[in-house]
């Protein structure tokens, strides 16, 4: 059960499928084919491999149009510039990689839609690092065109908020209703394979009761993937706790009414007791180890926020990022999210407000 729940108020489970605004029909599916996990074919690493493959073809006949650095280290900005720049061959290489990637993404979506938990999906949002570039948005748009051109009536588009913000904003929809009665902000955490981000989220309920104006007041990021040597699990947790403690002080100085609630998005299958069953392999250290409980560690370090006991709720990171779309999906019965970055995250939702009364 969620840590630190108040007596007399309903508590949420970690990884709950029954959330205030949606039912989580499916999450963290790991599809396989003869080449391994299908999600690995539409990851950040897979796209860089396609760029390198096309560069190799160019090198067989002449100069490499992107010869200034290795494919795995080319920034998203550099790829965007190549796509729109004055070097036609460089643009062609990047565009060719985008096209192949989009074809793979479209195939992946078709496979997801054949899964029981994804049937009747009419709308998919795509988040993760892919969305944060022109190259990524073009790949998403091209995959959407391939699907619709093939006769599939589905909308697929980039997630509305910047993916870094979406992974925090979605935590608002993990919170119980009582949070919104006396507070105007809360803490959120987004744990990823390359970085950990924490932030203070303002609800702006007076401006938008449907939570469509939720925004990040302040956030802090730690790119643990850049640290040498790689940090241990305990070092990562201590760093996160320090970030949260600093954010609490900053919220107090800004006179925000910070709720005694921390919402966490974390890769993997999250068990009701807050342990991670599987899917945490890209995190620093062993997060799936027996006896490790991240919500419990945070609660022990931050037992109270203001005058009240802290409540901590953790869910799969793709679920949390997808929840940032809740205000825009009131009229969509069944919709999903794919997050494309270090790995592939996924979740499918049924909107409560869009369900028939007898559903």
State the average pLDDT for the chain: 91
Alpha helices for the chain (secondary structure H): 44-59, 76-84, 88-113, 134-149, 163-169, 179-182, 233-253, 294-301, 317-323
Residue 10 lies in a domain: no
Residue 8 lies in a domain: no
Considering only 10-14, 95-99, 251-255, 301-305, which range has the smallest mean pLDDT? 10-14
DSSP letter for each residue of 182-211? H-SEEEEEEE-SS-EEEEEEE--TTT-TTS
Q: Are 318 and 337 in contact (CB under 8 A)?
A: yes
191 - beta bridge partners? 196
Give the pLDDT confidence score for residue 358 in this predicted structure: 41
Same domain, 99 and 153: yes
- Nearest CA-CA partner of 242 in 313, 186, 302, 295: 302
Tell me: do 105 and 186 sit in the same domain.
Answer: no
Q: What is the pLDDT of residues 12-54, one digit of tens each?
A: 789 999 999 999 999 989 888 777 677 788 988 999 999 999 9
Can you read off the two tokens belonging to residue 232?
């241990």
pLDDT in tens, 121-135: 999 999 998 889 999
- The last residue of one of the domains, among 119, 139, 158, is 158
Over residues 283-338, the pLDDT tens digits come to: 888 899 888 999 999 999 999 999 999 999 999 999 999 999 999 998 999 999 99
| Whole-number pLDDT of residue 4 | 52
Is the domain of 316 the same as that of 224? yes
Lookup: tokens for 182:
């006396």
Instruction: Find which of 67-81, 270-284, 291-305 is predicted with most confidence, using mean pLDDT.
Output: 291-305
Q: Omega before 38 cis (within 30°)?
A: no
Tell whether 48 is covered by a domain: yes
Q: For strand 155-158 and strand 185-191, is the pairing parallel, antiparallel, or unpaired?
A: unpaired
Q: In the structure encoding, which two tokens stand for residue 236, read together?
A: 């990562």
pLDDT the model gives residue 320: 98
For residue 309, with 0-12 CB atoms within 10 Å meaning exposed, 13-18 middle and 19 or more buried, which class applies?
middle
The residues facing 35 across adjacent strands are: none
The pLDDT of 89-106, averaged and rounded, is: 97
Whether residues 69 and 152 share a domain: the answer is yes
Residues 168 and 240 in one domain: yes
Q: In which domain, by residue range, is 124 found?
A: 32-158
Q: What CATH number does the domain containing 131 carry? A: 3.30.420
Domain annotation covers residue 11: no
| Claim to verify: residue 219 and residue 278 sit in the same structural domain | yes
* Residue 168 main-chain phi, psi, to 5 deg: -95, -45
Q: Report how many domains make up the chain.
A: 2
Instruction: Please check whether residue 272 lies inside any domain of the structure.
Output: yes
Does 133 reside within a domain?
yes
What residue has token string 């039912």?
Answer: 23
Last residue of a domain, one of 135, 158, 181: 158
Q: Which residues pair with 32 in a beta bridge?
A: 37
Q: Is the pLDDT of residue 101 over 80?
A: yes
| Residue at 201 is within a domain | yes
Same domain for 147 and 176, yes or no, is: no
Q: Which of 106, 93, 97, 110 is nearest to 141 (CA)?
A: 106
Out of 102, 131, 158, pick the residue that ends a domain: 158
> 151 and 42, same structural domain?
yes
* pLDDT above 70 (res 6): no
Question: Is 17 part of a structural domain of the chain?
Answer: no
Same domain, 185 and 120: no
Q: Percent of the chain at pLDDT above 90? A: 77
Point out the least confidently predicted range of 163-167, 172-176, 342-346.
342-346
| Nearest one of 79, 82, 174, 173 to 129, comparing CA atoms | 79
Using alpha carbons, list the distances in angstroms from residue 285 to 15, 167, 193, 280.
21, 22, 11, 9
Paired strand residues for 347: 27, 337
pLDDT at 3: 62
Distance of CA 300 to the CA centre of its chain: 26
Residue 147 tokens, joined: 């699907």
Give 282's pLDDT tier (boundaries 50, 70, 90): confident
Q: Are residues 154 and 167 in the same domain?
A: no
Q: Report the C-alpha gap between 354 and 285 in whole angstroms.
A: 41
Look at residues 240, 201, 183 and name the one whose alpha carbon lies nearest to residue 324.
Answer: 201
Q: Within this chain, do residues 250 and 147 fall inside the same structural domain, yes or no?
A: no
> pLDDT-based confidence at 226, cuts 50/70/90?
confident
**CATH number of 236's domain:** 3.30.420.40
- Please check whether residues 244 and 315 belong to one and the same domain: yes
pLDDT of residue 227: 86
């Amino acid at each position: 059960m969620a840590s630190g729940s108040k007596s007399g108020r309903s508590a949420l489970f970690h990884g709950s499928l029954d959330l205030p605004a949606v039912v989580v029909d499916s999450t963290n599916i790991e599809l396989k084919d003869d080449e391994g996990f299908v999600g690995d074919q539409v990851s950040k690493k897979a796209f860089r491999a396609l760029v390198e493959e096309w560069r190799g073809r160019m090198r067989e006949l002449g100069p490499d149009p992107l010869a200034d650095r290795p494919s795995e280290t080319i920034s998203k900005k550099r790829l965007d510039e190549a796509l729109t720049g004055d070097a036609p061959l460089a643009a062609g290489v990047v565009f060719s990689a985008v096209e192949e990637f989009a074809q793979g993404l479209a195939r992946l979506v078709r496979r997801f839609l054949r899964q029981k938990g994804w049937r009747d999906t009419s709308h998919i949002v795509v988040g993760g690092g892919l969305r944060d570039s022109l190259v990524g948005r073009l790949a998403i748009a091209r995959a959407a065109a391939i699907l619709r051109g093939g006769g599939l009536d589905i909308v697929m588009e980039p997630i509305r908020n910047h993916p870094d913000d979406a992974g925090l904003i979605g935590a608002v929809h993990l919170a119980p209703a009582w949070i919104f009665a006396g507070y105007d902000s809360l803490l959120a955490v987004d744990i990823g394979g390359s970085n950990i981000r924490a932030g203070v989220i303002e609800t702006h309920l007076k401006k938008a009761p449907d939570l469509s104006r939720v925004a990040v007041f302040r956030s802090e990021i730690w790119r643990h993937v850049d640290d040498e040597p790689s940090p241990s699990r305990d070092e990562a947790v201590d760093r996160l706790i320090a970030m949260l403690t600093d954010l609490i002080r900053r919220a107090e100085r800004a006179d925000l009414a910070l709720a005694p609630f921390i919402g966490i998005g974390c890769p993997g299958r999250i068990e009701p007791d807050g342990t991670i069953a599987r899917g945490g392999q890209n995190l620093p250290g062993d997060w799936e180890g027996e006896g490790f409980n991240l919500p419990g560690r945070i609660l022990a370090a931050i037992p109270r926020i203001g005058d009240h006991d802290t409540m901590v709720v953790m869910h799969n990171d793709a679920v949390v990022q997808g929840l940032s779309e809740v205000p825009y999906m009131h009229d969509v019965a069944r919709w999903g999210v794919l997050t494309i970055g270090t790995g592939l995250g996924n979740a499918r939702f049924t909107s409560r407000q869009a369900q028939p009364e007898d559903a």
